[in-house]
Amino acid sequence: MKTSITAAVLAASLGLAGVAQAQITVGFVTSQSGPGSSIGVLYDRGMKAAAEYAMSVGAEKIKLIQLDDGSDPSTATRNARKLVEENKVDLLIGTATAPSSIAMVAVANELKVPMISISPITVPATEAGDRWAIAMPQPPSLMVKVVVDRMKRDGIKNFAYIGFSDAWGDLVYNGAQKPAEADGLKVLTNERYARTDTSVTGQVLKMMATKPDAVLLGGSATQGALPPLALAERGYKGPLYGTPALLNADFIRVGGKAVEGVVVSAGPVIVAEQLPDQHFSKKISMDFRAAYQKANGVATTDGFSAYSFDAWLVFLDAAKRAMAGGAKPGTPEFRTALKNAMFTTKDLVGTHAVYNFKPGESYGVDERSLVLVRLEGGQWKYQP
């Protein structure tokens, strides 16, 4: 299940020279197997694009070690501990699911190693109230608020909810509560299903019985297409809404006509070429796309891979500032300096957002980090 990509292997695959002598060590965990792999593979491709973009900070080269957590929180915990205790990494980055990301943060807090979560989680603090991790994506509360506000503008009065029966499903449902109340919308259902389920017939029948004006989807990727398919089979013709978790080629492929017209919130990178030239995201997003194409041999069509890339941008910026203070990679002092630098990131332009992190806060984005897009003819179209 586990795969370790040493700097030498990565250099061979990407054509990068000198990586084997890297001095800053980064441990990257993603899900290349298991139910989270349809997203985890995209994070992996985004990291390859990041490595293509830059594999040094000043004169210091970077060593990247990658492990597969199999979409399992226990494996994610073991991987994080191995990377810190055996490989002596200066930074952890991961992973593809919220439960596994939370498990990794627990290790980062315990062993005092900075971490960048590429899943949208509320980062837990240590018992002393300290934090060693930040989260790159837009917080679910913001992802959902933008969508619920759009529902109101679309004239929706009530909606049914269906999402995963895990931390992600909770985050989306909970995130919908306050904006729905503020906008005068009623949430009719809270139906759930497991990521490994192959049918949601029972849940959809309960939703249909409430006669909703719209449906909010709290799934992701391939499994996120199950509810729209079941709804279409039972004659539902109302609008569908979702979060960036649905910005995935597998969701479009599996969902087919059943997911046409779905409106989701998205990082601006997903429609980079459709953005105005003055938009903060346009230039760096096009640079990301070029690096992705070179590293992976195909064009990017998702938003997940860009989270890995943005995590790398934050790391590069923080590492430069940490070393400017005299801290040497591979030491506890550098880990602390890197953590402190991450939490003082200011106005860093990425593909998804302009990042500003502060001590004690999990996220570093604002409403600039989201646009609305509609699926039309299998393509995401910018909705200004």
- 120-138 pLDDT, tens digit each: 888 887 777 789 999 999 9
Alpha helices per DSSP H over the chain: 7-14, 37-53, 73-85, 98-111, 140-153, 167-183, 201-209, 226-233, 249-255, 281-296, 304-324, 332-342
Spatial contact of 199 and 181, defined as CB atoms under 8 Å apart: no
Map out the domains of the chain with their CATH numbers: 7-138+284-367 (3.40.50.2300), 140-266 (3.40.50.2300)
The yes-or-no verdict on residue 151 having pLDDT over 70 is yes
pTM to 2 decimal places: 0.81
Would you state the structure tokens that stand for residue 300, as one six-digit string?
A: 């990017």
Count how many residues are written for the chain.
384
Q: Which pLDDT belongs to residue 302?
A: 85
Q: Which pLDDT belongs to residue 301?
A: 81
Give the chain's radius of gyration (CA, Å).
20
Q: Which pLDDT belongs to residue 11?
A: 42
For 31, residues 6+ apart whose C-beta sits below 8 A from its C-beta are 37, 39, 40, 41, 43, 68, 69, 70, 71, 95, 96, 97, 100
Taking the C-alpha atoms of residue 244 and residue 304, their distance in angstroms, rounded to an integer, is 8
Model pLDDT for residues 273-321, shown as the tens digit of each residue: 999 999 999 999 999 999 999 999 999 988 899 999 999 999 999 999 9
The yes-or-no verdict on residue 15 having pLDDT over 90 is no
Taking the C-alpha atoms of residue 147 and residue 230, their distance in angstroms, rounded to an integer, is 22
Taking the C-alpha atoms of residue 257 and residue 234, their distance in angstroms, rounded to an integer, is 14
The yes-or-no verdict on residue 140 having pLDDT over 90 is no
Spatial contact of 99 and 35, defined as CB atoms under 8 Å apart: no
Round the average pLDDT of the chain to a whole number and report it: 92
303 or 7, higher pLDDT: 303
Spatial contact of 64 and 26, defined as CB atoms under 8 Å apart: yes
For 46, residues 6+ apart whose C-beta sits below 8 A from its C-beta are 292, 304, 305, 306, 307, 308, 309
Alpha helices per DSSP H over 239-303: 249-255, 281-296
Spatial contact of 380 and 270, defined as CB atoms under 8 Å apart: yes
